[in-house]
Amino acid sequence: MPRLPRTFMDYPCYHIITRGNQRQRVFMNEKDYTVYLGILKKAKRKYRILLYAYCLMPNHVHLLIESLSSLNMSKFMQWLNRGYSAYFNQAYRTSGHLWQGRFISKPILKDQYLIHCANYIESNPVRARMVENIADYKWSSYKERCLSSEPDLLDEVRGHFEE
């Protein structure tokens, strides 16, 4: 029986989680993380997605995103995951599924929980005991969101999506 399509609402934020197939590593070295972030940047522009926080863990990814159109959410994730999978399979001479099933999407309202969700996402490496200090982890949005005045990948949280 085919899966039912996801239902997304226009404008709310979503905490997106996508895991490596059978919890396998999806980032083997620094180049992999960098390539993923490059694909993410392109996907944001292509599908008009706002990114508020992210954390790339060795075997999964967390994103806190917002979209003007609910129709763009699945297309954005499909383009992002397929693009990175193609890179990974070519780089490591593998084939098949890199990601485990469909991505998880949890709607987040733009209130205090949005900040809590961003903190939760960026704290993953501390909880996984990969680093003691959140600022020491290179592959999350923490430094850009909390310590930098120069925006790179993240968008400013707004009351509504500006067209």
Tokens of 40: 């993410």
Tens of pLDDT along 111-136? 778 889 999 999 999 999 999 999 99
What is the per-residue pLDDT for 152? 85
Tens of pLDDT along 14-29? 999 999 999 899 999 9
Is residue 163 a part of any domain in this protein?
A: no
What is the per-residue pLDDT for 4? 46
Which among 90, 88, 94 is positioned nearest to 59, based on CA atoms? 88
How many domains does one find in the chain?
1
Is residue 160 a part of any domain in this protein?
A: no
Is residue 157 a part of any domain in this protein?
A: no
Is residue 155 a part of any domain in this protein?
A: no
The whole-angstrom separation of Cα 34 and Cα 40 is 10
Tens of pLDDT along 49-100? 999 999 999 999 999 999 877 788 889 999 999 999 999 999 999 998 999 9
Is residue 98 a part of any domain in this protein?
A: yes
Is residue 2 a part of any domain in this protein?
A: no
Is residue 156 a part of any domain in this protein?
A: no
What is the per-residue pLDDT for 11? 52
Flag the least confident range among 68-72, 137-141, 153-157. 68-72
Range of the domain at 49: 13-147
pTM of the model: 0.86
CATH number at 54 reads 3.30.70.1290
Is residue 107 a part of any domain in this protein?
A: yes
41's CB contacts (< 8 A; 6+ apart) are 153
